Amino acid sequence: MLSRMLLCIGVVATSACCTPLVSATSIPSQHADYVVVGLGAAGAGMAKFLSDDHHSSVIALETGKNQDHDAPITDSTQAPNLEPDYYATYFYQQEQLPEAFNGAQYHYTTGALWGGGSSINGEQYVQGTNENYKRWEKLLGKTWSVKKIRAAFKAFEKYNGHTDNRNSRGYHGHVAIRQAPRLATSMAMKFVQATSRATNFREILDYNNPKTPLGPFTRWQLYQKKNGRRESSSTAYLARIVDKHGKGLKKRKLTILSQASALRVLFDKHKKAIGVAFLQNGKIGKVFAKKKVILCAGVFSPKLLLHSGIGPKKLLKKLGVDVVYANNNVGRHLVNHPLISAMFTANPNDIGVPQNDPNALYVGGAFLPNPTPQSDRKKRDVQLIGTSSGAGNFVITALLLNPHSRGHIEIQSNQYLKSVLATDAVLNNTSDLNAFKNILKIYIQNIANQLAAMDSQYQLVFPTLDIINDDAALTNFIKENINVAHHWMSSNLMAPKGKGGVVDKYGHVYGVKDLVIADASIAPFPNDGNTSAPAFMIAKIIAEQLLKM
C-alpha cells in the first residue's frame, strides 16, 4: 500500500487507480509561513534566520535526527574516519554510476542527521576567493556582490585564530572557527618550506584573508569550538533555539520534524508551491507553507525538483511524472572536486599533528594556481592537503578546484524512494587530466625534490618518479587512483535560464511560484575550496532577501 501511496502524492489524486493523499495521510497536517527542507549547512541556518523574526513560523524537515552528542560526531579526530567507519550510521547510502574511464563507483552521499554534511565532513573552513565571487557578481548583480558575500561570512563566523587582515574576519557570529594547531609541527614546517621553494609562493598566515588567497600555510581553519570539538550548523544554530523535541524556545515559532524525508513539493493549480509531502516512520504527511517552500537539501535538491515535476520534459514524461514546468537545466552542470594523493616516506622523528592537539587533523596545506603552462598565476585552482597517519609517512592530497568536467543527476523512476542516477563524469574533459598530470609533474615532483634536499628521509614512493616521467604510465596512474571529494555543487544553477539556470538571483525556481532553493546546488560557479562555507553564506543572503519580501 505504501508504494502505491508514494506514487500518488499530490494535492489531489494523480490517477484514478490511486487513493487520494487526503485519505492516505496518517500524520496530521501542519501549517507555517515557511517550510524548510533539509537541516544541513544551509538549512539549519535558514531555519534559524527565518525564525529569528518571531512573527514568522517555520517548519523544517530533516531525514535524520539530532546526533550532536554522539561521540564519533563530537570527536574531531574521527572526522577522517567517519565515512569508512560509520557509513551506515550517519550517511545516505548511495552510489554513483560507474565512471566511464575506469568503472569506479564513488559514494553519492552526505550526512543523514541534523547538520547534514557539516556534521560529518573533514571540518575544513574555506570561504573562497574574491576573484571567484566577482564572477557571481558579474552574472547575478549586486545581490551577490563581493561586498555582500564578504559581509555574510563575517556575520556568521566566530573566528578564533590569527590573521593579517582583522577587518576581513568575524568574531561575534554563531559558527565557531578554530585555526589549528597553535604551533606548527616539524613535518608541517618542512612541507610548507618545500612548497614555497617549489612554487615561488610565500607562506601565508590566513588563506581566508581575501588579500592572501594563494600560498602554503601550516595552520588550517576548522569548524571547531575552542576545545577542538566539532562545530556544525546544528551545534551552531539549532542547539541554542530548540528543545529536545525540536520545538522553538522563547516564543520562537520553529518546529523541526526529524526522521521526516521530503518526497515532493505540492503545487496548486496556479503552479504555486503550497507545501511538501513527506514520509515519517512509514507514514505519509503534509506540511503547508503560507509564504514559501525552501529547499536546502543539497545533493538531493535536484531529485526533489524532478519528483515534483520540474525538469526535462522528456525524462519526466518517460517516467510518468506530471510535468509542472519543463526545464532541461535541472540536474545538469553537476560539478565536484576530483583529487589524487601522493605518498612519501618521512623522518620518523617528525611529528605530523601535535600530540597535545590531535584535533588539528592536518599537516599544513596550500592553495595554488593551475601549474599548466599559460594558466592564470593569480587564480586559485589547486588545493594541497598534508596528512600523516603515523611515524615515517607523509601524504599530499591535491584537489582540482575548477574542473571543466560536468556531471548530471537524474531520477530513474517515479518512485520517490529510489536512489538517483548521478555521475560526476570525472575526467570527461581532457583538460582536467592534463591539469592532474601537471600537478604531479610540476608541483609534487618539485616539492619532493625540495623535501629530499632538506631531509633525505623524505622520498616520494607513490607515484614513483619513473611513473611521473612516463606520460602513458602517469595517465594510467591518474585514471586508476583518482577519487572525488564530497563537494557537489551547481546542479540547480543560479543563473539566467538561457545560461543553464534553474533559479533566479533570489533563489526562486523558474516557472513556479513561491519555491526557493538555498544551498550549494545553486552555486553559479564551483567554489575554489571546500563547499560548506559557501552553503552557510548562501543561506544567509537568501534568508535576508526573503525577510524583506
pLDDT attached to residue 549? 84
Question: What is the four-CA torsion angle of 462, 203, 530, 36, rounded to 10 degrees?
Answer: 160
Residue 9 confidence (pLDDT) = 44
Query: What's the CA gap between 140 and 424, in Å, rounded?
Result: 25
pTM for this structure?
0.94
What pLDDT is recorded for position 25?
A: 58
Retrieve residue 433's grid coordinates: 587530466
Distance separating alpha carbons of residues 241 and 263, to the nearest angstrom: 26
pLDDT of 271-323, one tens digit each? 999 999 999 999 999 999 999 999 999 999 999 999 999 999 999 999 999 99
Using alpha carbons only, what angle is made at residue 443 by residues 439 and 445, rounded to the nearest 5 degrees? 105
CA triplet 413, 95, 342: central angle to 5 degrees?
155
pLDDT at 451: 98
pLDDT lower than 70: segments of the chain: 1-25
Closest of 224, 231, 214 to residue 179, by C-alpha = 224
Question: What is the model's pLDDT at position 16?
Answer: 29
The reported pLDDT for the residue numbered 26 is: 79
Instruction: Name the percent of the chain lying above pLDDT 70.
Output: 95
Q: Write down how long the chain is.
A: 549
What are the chain's domains? 182-218+338-402+427-481 (3.30.410.40)
